[in-house]
Structure 1
């Protein structure tokens, strides 16, 4: 059905490019594996035991131990050894540490801070001269320099010395890129684009698996386990994506909102990057479905609904009852019914003592809708809010605070009521996630020209309020993105009891580097992520 044929459809329409995948994953049949899945599972289980033994029998140096833990993260198999890694990290933290190796000191700093254990930036003072600048001799150690560069991205507010370390390391890494040997050359190239602490584990794993055999610490058993684990999980994700694509295509056909972006595969991919582990299947699908529902809601308010229609849709969602259906224009009734039914399905998926979680998710969805409505009112009255009012609303309308709440719904026992209260309050790392999403999204849209049907962006609000140039506003928002990342880093210490969930919301923040890299909106213009999605869901790792 064309958008102009939708009953009650206004002329306010934007035509998005169609899905780049269509029915690909519905009809896709993967090539037969080199060995059966059952044989792969048996082999992987044996290798897991071998690696667990390495934790018990390890008698190497501190540097070797740190490198081993980092390798498990790089290869994407740290999820198999959470308990052993946490124990090892705590033991390292409790052990006196004194090293003159820049690589080792920076790795120690990064790994401990990632696990919410305090390390002072003073550990890098030994590599500085009397004037406070880094000694030039460390530029002869590219591996150490890359380690310093990545570690410094775990800075907290009020640590300018780490900002200086980033600038120093980046400058020298860029100047030596052409002379580095593989695989360090590739790692430098990738990290100069997206530093390691902002890189998604699952995405980086497929790169590092290919590089690991060239590392001096190479362990064949560890590499084989990484390959088997990647391929076994990929098979699971292929089956899920086939079923999810059917669900999504049926949804789009049923509700008939042809003006909305069809990004079914991208929604699953985004959910998968946050929750790729086998035992998070329910959580992964709930999150992906929420992303689809929110995307359709966003496009309705932004690109299609009149002010009155948006008000009626918001009223219906705030009431959250079938009695609100007559309020709605004809073309939104099926969406509302499917939305309600989908939330009921979420409830049916959960154990009895977890069903309360859906109420938190519903509340977050309603809050998101209210912010869409606020922005719609600003648009229809041609009003540009103050920057502060804009941000207060638009970090919620960015969607990620609601999606984080949604990501907890299908999780295990770690998703406690305390976790939901923290998430729904949109403080600390959750708020920072919304800020990174909002500002990166607005910087992308500003670079490529704001759609005339969209509310003024935070960039425009800043320019309008403070009467500054585009360049000043852009630099300000880029700085606010960096500050938000530091807030996320700080939350690992301030909310250490919720550290696994802080790291989950940090993963959502990391995913923004894929959606808005180089100020591109790769959700709307999804061809930019096609190769990456193909790599994750179609290409197995050669065994």
Structure 2
């Protein structure tokens, strides 16, 4: 794990601040220079026409193929490319056929593939392999790819854009609370975010004012992008940002005071500060008709799928980044809380937290079985984001140290051409 150096610097007012040195951006201005906005309209139109031609060809493959294994492999390939939203009806019809098929003569590959395809679509499959095959882990990178690329069809373009401004603003806010500001400055920023109006900027230090105004502007742009009957959704995301800011401030007080809370007290705050719930809300913001007012009410009640995703993200983050954060004079993590509460060492604490992650996965898998509590696209976003957390924190903290595997994954999804 890469060690992050921490230095103390003084500003022009004589205030001593922490300054953590991270590696510079591995991309520079690549994505700015290669933005899709720079594509010629004529080239874009040709691509759209080609997409429609290929969609017709793939739909014909479903009609012309009678071999069950070939159909399963076709579905698997489409899902790995994250193109299944183009062929929802064809896939549903094929999976109903696959569910009814007699699999007693299948080998290990055919049985495991059938199990995964049906299970991740919400079928309650009963098989001898069910206990040993964990469908949520079979395609971790698939979920990670979804978070990176999002959906490319027109009705999900707004969701992709909104989820990305929202995430960038959150990342900056995390750095302000976690790394640079003083406790008094964090208190001022928290109060301003709770007020959520332009007048509140006057109470902030100069270096935070630009961030605060940009935060408000981004949300105004979100609202402008939405249809009239969708604008209410922005309030839900505002509430999420406020909750995260309050949680950030509470954790920063723990760090300053050297306070190590109990695990339950920690999770009441840190499941919110993980921002998993906020990211999920930002995904729903531009999803069109499927994201109804009832969906946002369901989501805001912190239902079991959202809670499970937050547990997965928080605990995996803490387990992986525990050592680095202690070198940065960070607030106590859930690892330290467990160690203090149970009198254990780091190894035992991490093992117990991993067991909590496994339980959260079981709960999330149960909630994803048909019939789902809400529309399947809503649940799928939670599943995909949870899978991405597994990939980001599996071996190292790929979010913080993003110049290795993270860079390669982003390159595979957004830079390198897909061979056809």
Query: Larger Rg: 1 or 2?
Result: 1
* Aligned match for 1:427, one of 299, 303, 310: 303
Mark the CA change 1:36 to 1:407 in structure 2 (over 3 Å): closer, same or farther: closer
Q: What is the CA-CA distance between 1:79 and the residue it aligns to?
A: 2.3
3-state SS, counterpart of residue 139 of structure 2: helix
Instruction: Measure, in 2, the Cα distance between the counterparts of 1:59 and 1:517.
Output: 39
Alpha-carbon RMSD: 2.8
Q: Are 2:180 and 1:199 aligned?
A: no
TM-score after normalising by structure 1: 0.69
Instruction: Measure, in 2, the Cα distance between the counterparts of 1:301 and 1:202.
Output: 27
Instruction: Measure, in 2, the Cα distance between the counterparts of 1:318 and 1:8.
Output: 28
Q: What is the CA-CA distance between 1:279 and the residue it aligns to?
A: 3.7
* Aligned match for 1:100, one of 94, 101, 105: 105
Aligned twin of 2:4: none
Q: Are 2:224 and 1:348 aligned?
A: yes
Aligned twin of 1:66: 72
Q: Are 2:12 and 1:12 aligned?
A: no
* Aligned match for 1:152, one of 110, 115, 133: 133
* Aligned match for 1:364, one of 214, 237, 240: 240
Q: Are 2:353 and 1:499 aligned?
A: no
CA contact (8 A) 1:433 1:484 kept: yes
Unaligned runs of 5+ in 1: 126-147, 156-194, 204-269
Q: Are 2:71 and 1:90 aligned?
A: no
3-state SS, counterpart of residue 368 of structure 2: helix
Aligned twin of 1:513: 390
Mark the CA change 1:537 to 1:109 in structure 2 (over 3 Å): closer, same or farther: closer
Q: Are 2:211 and 1:330 aligned?
A: no
Give the paired residue count.
Answer: 408
Instruction: Measure, in 2, the Cα distance between the counterparts of 1:272 and 1:6.
Output: 40
Q: What is the CA-CA distance between 1:87 and the residue it aligns to?
A: 2.8
Instruction: Measure, in 2, the Cα distance between the counterparts of 1:414 and 1:7.
Output: 51
Instruction: Measure, in 2, the Cα distance between the counterparts of 1:77 and 1:460.
Output: 42
Aligned twin of 1:486: 362
Deviations for 1:447-467, whole angstroms, at most 9, x for unmatched residues? Answer: 445243311110011001100
3-state SS, counterpart of residue 326 of structure 2: coil
3-state SS, counterpart of residue 152 of structure 1: coil
Deviations for 1:122-156, whole angstroms, at most 9, x for unmatched residues? Answer: x217xxxxxxxxxxxxxxxxxxxxxx89x71138x
Instruction: Measure, in 1, the Cα distance between the counterparts of 2:199 and 2:14.
Output: 20
Instruction: Measure, in 1, the Cα distance between the counterparts of 2:57 and 2:69.
Output: 21
Deviations for 1:258-311, whole angstroms, at most 9, x for unmatched residues? Answer: xxxxxxxxxxxx853444545422111111111111111111111122222211
Aligned twin of 1:161: none
Aligned twin of 1:306: 182
Q: Are 2:27 and 1:46 aligned?
A: no
CA contact (8 A) 1:360 1:420 kept: yes
Q: What is the CA-CA distance between 1:406 and the residue it aligns to?
A: 0.9
* Aligned match for 2:128, one of 117, 124, 133: 124
Aligned twin of 1:395: 271
Instruction: Measure, in 1, the Cα distance between the counterparts of 2:400 and 2:158.
Output: 26
Instruction: Measure, in 2, the Cα distance between the counterparts of 1:449 and 1:26.
Output: 32
Mark the CA change 1:99 to 1:36 in structure 2 (over 3 Å): closer, same or farther: farther
Mark the CA change 1:6 to 1:350 in structure 2 (over 3 Å): closer, same or farther: farther
CA contact (8 A) 2:23 2:401 kept: yes
CA contact (8 A) 1:271 1:285 kept: no
Q: What is the CA-CA distance between 1:334 and the residue it aligns to?
A: 1.6
3-state SS, counterpart of residue 288 of structure 1: helix
CA contact (8 A) 1:74 1:201 kept: no
Q: Which moved more, 1:478-487 or 1:447-456?
A: 447-456
3-state SS, counterpart of residue 218 of structure 2: helix
Aligned twin of 1:162: none
Q: What is the CA-CA distance between 1:351 and the residue it aligns to?
A: 0.5
Unaligned runs of 5+ in 2: 1-7
Instruction: Measure, in 2, the Cα distance between the counterparts of 1:7 and 1:508.
Output: 42
CA contact (8 A) 1:310 1:373 kept: yes
TM-score after normalising by structure 2: 0.88
Q: Are 2:293 and 1:417 aligned?
A: yes
Mark the CA change 1:22 to 1:321 in structure 2 (over 3 Å): closer, same or farther: same
